[in-house]
Amino acid sequence: MSYQAVSGGSLLASKKALRQSLPWSYIISTVIALAVIATVLNFVNFKAIAALDFTVVYQYRYTFLWAIGTTLGITSTAIVIGLIVGIVLAVLIIQGPRPVRMVVTAYVEIWRNTPLIVQLFWVHFAMPVVTGVNTTALQSGLIAMTMQSAAYLTDIARTGILAVPKGQYEAAEALGLPTWSKWVDIILPQALRIVIPPLATIAVGFFKASAILSLLSVGELMTQTKNIATYTHKPIEVMTFVGLVYWALGYSFGSLAYKLEDILGSDQRARR
């Protein structure tokens, strides 16, 4: 018996077995889906849902738009400044003297491994006692988010810099480029291409984490949401809408991050 005959017979047998198993899998899946739907419907209070009044969202649409813009502004500022600081600290970790590396590493570990809410309260309440410098709620929130983003982005930038091929460093040295030119013109542009995808992911995380700033009544989205919910006595409608806003923006930024990762990954593979 030839190999082709054996292979063909095995393939036909596999297809037959698959056809026989498919109806049962569909039946089981349908039964499970119907059971889940019935269970959910049994606990849903449709009268309460019908009584929800989402016109409050339209009534306060300008407040929501302002709050969304404020949240995006705080997040963007924290990420941009954090990236600049993170790049500088990453270079210091790689090429700085040992005492400097120890200090920078300690900062990164402390701010990465403590909750943002603790950092927020420390900046707003403890820092004025220690330094004598008072800050507004917005300034405290921005400082706390920037310092934490810088800690995360330091590690990401360091990874991106170390991922640049050593041949690039050697080429810059062979050309006799000054240290500043070597980093700005050769190393950092290549490193930034590597760190853009994780940078976008970090931005999504900080956008969602900005809700913590409502504890200081900064004026961002969650602060305004709490104020509107309290004033209108419609917390379900308001919180549902804001939850959808966070989801929509987070999903959009996340999709952009994945798209950038695919594009830059394909480009890097093509360069190789």
How far is 85 from 55, CA to CA, in rounded Å? 44
Contact 179, 215 (CB under 8 A): no
Contact 168, 140 (CB under 8 A): no
| pLDDT for 7 | 45
| pLDDT for 8 | 47
How far is 20 from 12, CA to CA, in rounded Å? 12
Cα torsion angle, 173, 174, 176, 181, sign: negative
Contact 225, 67 (CB under 8 A): yes
Q: Which residue has the tokens 């970090």?
A: 202
Burial bucket for residue 197 (CB in 10 Å: 0-12, 13-18, 19+): buried
CB hemisphere CA count around 74 (13 angstroms) = 29
| pLDDT for 24 | 65
| pLDDT for 14 | 55
The candidate with the shortest Cα–Cα distance to 213, out of 126, 156, 141, is 141
The candidate with the shortest Cα–Cα distance to 164, out of 193, 139, 142, is 193
| pLDDT for 104 | 92
| pLDDT for 76 | 92
Burial bucket for residue 87 (CB in 10 Å: 0-12, 13-18, 19+): buried
How far is 72 from 67, CA to CA, in rounded Å? 9
Q: What is the pTM of this model?
A: 0.74
| pLDDT for 3 | 41
| pLDDT for 6 | 42
| pLDDT for 265 | 58
> CA-CA distances (angstroms) from residue 76 to 85, 149, 195, 243?
14, 11, 16, 20
| pLDDT for 1 | 47
Give the residue ranges of the chain where pLDDT is below 50: 1-8
| pLDDT for 52 | 76
| pLDDT for 201 | 82
Instruction: Report the largest interatomic distance among the alpha carbons of the chain, rounded to a whole angstrom.
Output: 91
How far is 217 from 221, CA to CA, in rounded Å? 10
